[in-house]
Amino acid sequence: MSEDAIKETRLLKQHLRSLVDQARQNEEKMRRFQAIELQLISAANLMELIETILYDYREAFHLDALTLMLVDPANEFERILKDDNIDPADHPDMLFSTTREEIQFLSNLSMFPTLGHYKKRVHTSLFPNTQPRPETIAILPLVRHGKVIGCMNLGSYQTDRFENGSATDFLERIAAIVAISLENTLNSERLKRTGLTDPLTRINNRRFFDQRLGEEVSRAHRNAEPLSCLFFDVDHFKRINDNYGHQAGDQVLAEVASLIAIQMRTSDVLSRYGGEEFSALLSNTEVGKAMEIAERIRINIQEHPFKLDKHTEINITLSIGVATLIPDGDQSGLKTYASWLVGYADRALLHAKETGRNQVKCAGIIHASTEQQFQGVVLPNMKLESSH
C-alpha cells in the first residue's frame, strides 16, 4: 500500500473516531435532556419547576450561569411563591419583568433562541447577579400562543459555547418544553388556589388555614420557634348589613382583609376564617410581638374611615384574640398542639367580645412540654391578659 493510501486511511479512521465520539456525546446529551424534560413535565408545583430549571438544568449541562425571567405584570408568580412561604429573594437567578417588550428587546424581537457574545450594556439585566460575567450567552424566549411569557438565559465562560449561527435544535426544544410546563403549572396553581382562596376578600379561606396550621405547627417544633395565632372579629357586623345592606357589608370585609394583610409578613398566613372572622398564623413570633402586631392592627382599623359611598362614611372596630405556642420538639402531639393554639386564640377572642369589644385579649403562652397542665384547664375560666 502506498504512503498516500496509508495517510488517507489514517485520516479516515480519525474522522470515523471523531464521528463516533460526536455520536456518543449527542447520545449522552439526549439522555440528559430527556431526564430534565421528564422532570419539567412532572413538576408538582411552581417552585419545583423553577428549581429544575435554575439548578438541575444548569448542573446537567455544565452551564456557568442560568437565569429565568418571567413576565409577571400582576405579580402573580410572586404571590404564588409567597403563598407557599417561599421568598423569591432566596433565588436571585429568578427574575421578573412587568412587560413582554423588555424580553423581546433583549432577544432582538425574535421568538427563537438568540446566541452570541455577552454585551454589558444590553444583557446586564439578564445576569444581574452573575460574577464574573459570561463570555457567550443564549437567550431562549418562552412563547405560548404567540406571546412571550418569559425567557431562559444561559451563560458560559467559554468564548465559543454559544456562537451566533450555531445549531439551536436542542435549545428550541427545551424552550418549548419549559414554556409549556410553566403554563401548565401556573394553570394548576390557579385552579388549586380557586379552592383555597376566599372570592370576596381575595385572601386565603378556612380550608387553606386548616391546611397550613398543621404545617406551621410542625415547622415550629422542628425549628424550636414560637408560633402565634390571632383571631379577629369585626364588631357589630350584623348592624352594618342591617343598616346599609349586604353589599356594604361585603365592601367592609374586603377592606378589613386588605388592611390586616398590610401588617402581615410574607411568611404569615392570613385567612378569612368564616363570616366576619379572620385568622392569622405568625411564624417565629413570641407572645409580646404578637400582641404588638394585634394592637397595631386594631388601631389601624379603628382610625380608618370606611367610605361606603360618596355620602356615607362609617367607623369599624375589631376584637382580637391572641395565643402563642412554645414547642418542645416532640412531633407526636402536633394535632393536639394545633387544636390548643386555635382553641385558646378563639377563646381569647370571645373574651374580648364579651368584655367590651374593640380590644386585644391574650390567652397567654401554651407550653407544649406541660401537656398535663393544659389538659386540666377549663378554657372559659382561664386567666386572660388584655391590651387596650
Total-model pTM: 0.59
Q: What is the reported pLDDT for 378?
A: 34
Nine-digit cell at 109?
A: 424581537
- Is there a contact between 235 and 317 (Cβ–Cβ < 8 Å)? yes
Tell me if residue 295 is catalytic. no
Range(s) for CATH 3.30.450.40 in the chain?
A: 3-194
Look at 292 and 104; give whichever has higher pLDDT.
292
Q: Which residue is catalytic, options 37, 189, 216, 276?
A: 276
- Report whether pLDDT(375) > 60: no
Q: Position 199: which residue type?
A: P
- pLDDT band for position 388 (cuts 50, 70, 90): low
| Pairwise CA distance, residues 10 & 134, whole Å | 39
Q: What is the reported pLDDT for 330?
A: 63
pLDDT in tens, 136-194: 999 999 999 888 999 999 999 999 999 887 778 889 999 999 999 999 999 988 887 77
| Pairwise CA distance, residues 114 & 140, whole Å | 7
Q: What is the reported pLDDT for 74?
A: 83
pLDDT in tens, 83-121: 777 888 899 999 999 888 877 776 666 788 999 999 998
**Looking at the domain that runs over 206-387, which CATH code has it been given?**
3.30.70.270
- pLDDT band for position 376 (cuts 50, 70, 90): very low
CATH topology for the 3-194 domain: Beta-Lactamase (3.30.450)
Q: Is the dihedral of CA 109, 26, 136, 65 positive or negative?
A: positive
Range(s) for CATH 3.30.70.270 in the chain?
A: 206-387
Q: From 289, 357, 332, select the one nearest 280 (Cα to Cα).
A: 289
Nine-digit cell at 211?
A: 391546611
Distance of CA 75 to the CA centre of its chain: 11
